[in-house]
Amino acid sequence: MIGAIAIIGAGLGGTRAAQTLRAEGYDGRILLIGDEGVAPYDRPSLSKAVLAGELEHPLPLVESGWIEEAGVELLPSNPVVDIDAAEGWIAFQRGPAFQADRILIATGAQARTLPIGPSMDGVHYLRNLADSRSLAAAMRSAETMVVVGGGLIGCEVATTARKLGLSVTIVEASDELLARALGPSIGRQCRTWLNDVGVATITDAAVSRLIGPNRVEAVELSNGLILPADIVLVSIGAEPEVGLARRAGLPCQNGIIVDATGATSSPRIFAAGDAAAWPVRNGVARSLETYLNTQEQAAVAARSMLGFARPTPQLPLAWTEIAGRHIQAAGQFTSPGEIILRNDADGRGAISFRLQEGRVVGCVAIAAPGSFAFARRLVEAELRIDATALADPNTSLRDLVRMAARGG
């Protein structure tokens, strides 16, 4: 009998875990503990519709009333400060400690900070609703913006900044945007589209100095260039939030180390989402920082807590919106291999597949969500297929998915 389950972090992973626990019939206590002071919400909109002002509030993660009906005890603003792995005690910032039979750590990630000082007004990070609100307010009265780091969040925010009419420059230290997330060739295409909507991009350059004194006015780059900036967004990646886990003695590397069921080295503690270094199919265990992987990990870890462990190594599955295009990616895409480009028959979108030893191991769809639904299933099945057939728009992806289902 499991008496009580504590979920630390009331973001996507924590909330989906609570839903899964109830869906699986667990009727004991569930504490869902957050520190943002708001009900669980849809984070991806923070760099997109919410930042653009198109959506006033991010969508809630659960139907209104669900938390109460399901009897989940949501503590939206009482951060956990310590956990004791041996006895399951959880210490809060305020109030008495709580003893749980199972603990899920779903504390997400923190924006990586700029390694140069001093801290200055006008320098923003984007991870939570409060960040998005303050960035949105600043963007409304700014004319120039520098985005440090050309990853997913940087490119999304730059897109939004153009919608709002700001003059925006992305500064990327490596030689291409989005190289880590989507690979350099997709990165190059996105850079062109960003340039087309008026985003300036500078690669191979780091920010070496913020020019103030109190409020940022400009940034200086490693190549000596000075860019005026009313606001600076630092989007140079995220660090899994592993502070609690470390202090509790759990091994961490690229996140809290878990097996493919979400179990840590402590029998009562599990982890999921951005905080967890989860095993990846054909890859290294790491924090994947995607919505869909977080959802799956949370569901798997919740079942493991109840004793129904089913190892689920992750197939990375991401989406983003850059320069007005929907981009979706599945599987391994950044390592080298044979890349097959397949244009949609309607000429609007395209998918790049990566083949390894004749099998489909990754794909990236650009403006082709309908085809991606099929393409990602080919990646899931690691379908063995001839490159010419795959590239031919007359080969139906639907038929290939059927073939894969038959074990093709």
Partner 1 sequence: MAFTHICMTSDIAVGEGLRIEHEEPVALFNVDGTFLAVQDKCTHGDWSLAEGYVDGDMVECTLHMAKFCLRTGKVCAPPATQPLKLYPVRIEGNNVLVDLSAGAVAA
Residue from the set 1, 25, 56, 63 that interacts with partner 1 by CB under 8 A: 63
Residue among 98, 291, 333, 353 that touches partner 1 (CB under 8 A): 291
How many chain residues are in contact with ligand FAD, going by CB under 6 A?
Answer: 37
- How far is residue 306's CA from residue 1's CA, in Å, rounded to a whole number? 9
Q: Which does 382 bind (CB under 5 to 8 A by kind): partner 1, ligand FAD, none?
A: none
Closest approach, Cβ 257 to ligand FAD, in A, equals 15
In this complex, which beta carbon is closest to partner 1, that of residue 249 or of residue 369?
369
**What does R_g of the chain's alpha carbons equal in angstroms?**
22
Which partner from the list ligand FAD, partner 1, none does 107 bind, CB cut-off 5 to 8 Å by kind? Answer: ligand FAD
Under rule CB under 8 A, residue 393 binds partner 1: no
Using Cβ positions, the residue closest to ligand FAD within the complex turns out to be 11
Stretch that binds ligand FAD, among 22-30, 123-131, 172-180, 363-371 (CB under 6 A): 123-131
Residue 370 binding partner per list partner 1, ligand FAD, none, with a CB distance cut-off of 5 to 8 Å that depends on partner kind: partner 1
**Interface with ligand FAD includes 47 (CB under 6 A)?**
yes
Cis peptide before 40 (omega within 30 of 0): no
Rounded CA-CA distance 92/94 in Å is 5
Nearer to ligand FAD, 104 or 219 (CB): 104
65-94 positions binding ligand FAD, by CB under 6 A? 79-80
Of the residues 3, 24, 59, 195, which one makes contact with partner 1 according to CB under 8 A: 59
Near partner 1 by CB under 8 A, which window of 31-39, 159-167, 371-379, 382-390?
Answer: 371-379
Quote the least distance from Cβ 63 to partner 1, whole Å: 4
Size of the site for partner 1 (CB under 8 A): 20
Closest to ligand FAD by CB, 322 vs 355, is 322
**Contact characters 259-298, ligand FAD, x per CB under 6 A:** --------------xxx-------------xxxx-x----
Contacting positions for ligand FAD (CB under 6 A): 8-14, 33-36, 43-44, 46-47, 79-80, 106-108, 126-128, 153, 241, 244, 273-275, 289-292, 294, 318-320
